[in-house]
Structure 1
């Protein structure tokens, strides 16, 4: 279906794309890999995963569909809901469903949804055009064996020359003395060059520091500071109501919960996927948090979950 392509398009630009009512597709950067045994090289990529807990709409997919198909936002939401029903119908029939270029889904025991990512596309735009390849292993033993064979065919022998006279000893001694004098002169010359280079380097460093100290930077139109007024919850056990890409939607959800009587409801900030997370409340005691979670699932939200972490 066309929604497959729309989700795939968004994964190039965003790390989290939510299919409302079904789950979220997440991407995470993975460095280049060289397989030790096969010598295969794999370029950097975005590793694809799926989270069935993130089902609340953030408006991203609906806005993209409305823009692409030039339809109202409400009609885009109807398309998404129809697509989700199509996926669930196939899964409950025992089919293995494929979302093109993203992955396959299947239902296992106790309606556990399993996701297998596709490796056809690399969603990391900086790796565009790079593909995996296998490099032959370098074997240096081959050259060693060839050298040994050449030595066997043409051995090199050193034979002492006949000593006809010891006159060559005199010339050898003169040459050694000359080389010693030349070496001493060269050593002194190199020391002078090294000292000159060091002095020039120090002078350049001093000039550079003066330039840096004199430099000033002025911004005529500085950007306004962004502040987030977020209340810090107490306790590490959080009963989550939902996660939203748009902060206004998260604030609206918080007000709805407070109107329903959940006085501890609040916006706790941005999670690792870049979404604004709203909770019914945060608790120090795990048993109290589980009790509230069961009550919430029974009375208000069947998809609420427990997030255990320090904020």
Structure 2
């Protein structure tokens, strides 16, 4: 039977084989051979830098010529013939293919490959290299990587401008600066004084009493060591006269401490008065501190007795001031 010219038959067979190779790894042409699909992983060429995606490589095996019914059934559906009629039609087409191969012609299955006979009359198959039959790699194509030319960027260095030194004008001549420093030194000392403790003892301007200044004849009296200071009489007004003694008559005082401001000194006086002492702010020291005393005494023995009581129970840093 005749269902078209040889070219039409060849085109129909090529289209069916191309479709079947996408979903099958083996398509047999009865009486001719089988086309086998083998998985090929992706690769790259080390010299040409060409990258190939994974694919299904098609090979031909002339020994696979027994009909498995796959190609015949698909052709029968397309030709709308039964199985036997389609098989007869396919056998006639295969005989024509063999005759043309023996005549030295090639047989091409479009988008699949080309069949030819070698010098030993064996069928050789040359597949289409750019055809892709692997569904997982659909849409992937070979590409060549072009090396990127890298250029070294040179950053211009800014020019450094060296400026001539500018002479520094002295604000004060040498002698004038020394004079100003000498004038400022007392002010600096006064500014630093509040950093020290409020209570200051001037041991370098006094002498500690270690013996009784009023000894009796042949009397063995044990005198307790008492911190005692002698100080010249200041010609400054007393800030507050104690109620029980007169600064003009008294010459012996028990000093509670020296303070840098009047508020602290007056607070100390109120505290000592609450303790029962006849306390008062005696005067200002040469350093500008407010001197607070427990009281003033005319008798040294009485002063020492009170001093001993104070140092034992209240203020061990108290000391005697004798004018």
What TM-score comes out, normalization by structure 1 length? 0.45
Q: Which one has the bigger helix percentage?
A: 1
The one of the two structures with greater contact order (alpha-carbon pairs below 8 A, sep at least 6) is 1
* Structure whose alpha-carbon radius of gyration is higher: 2
When normalised by structure 2's length, the TM-score is 0.44
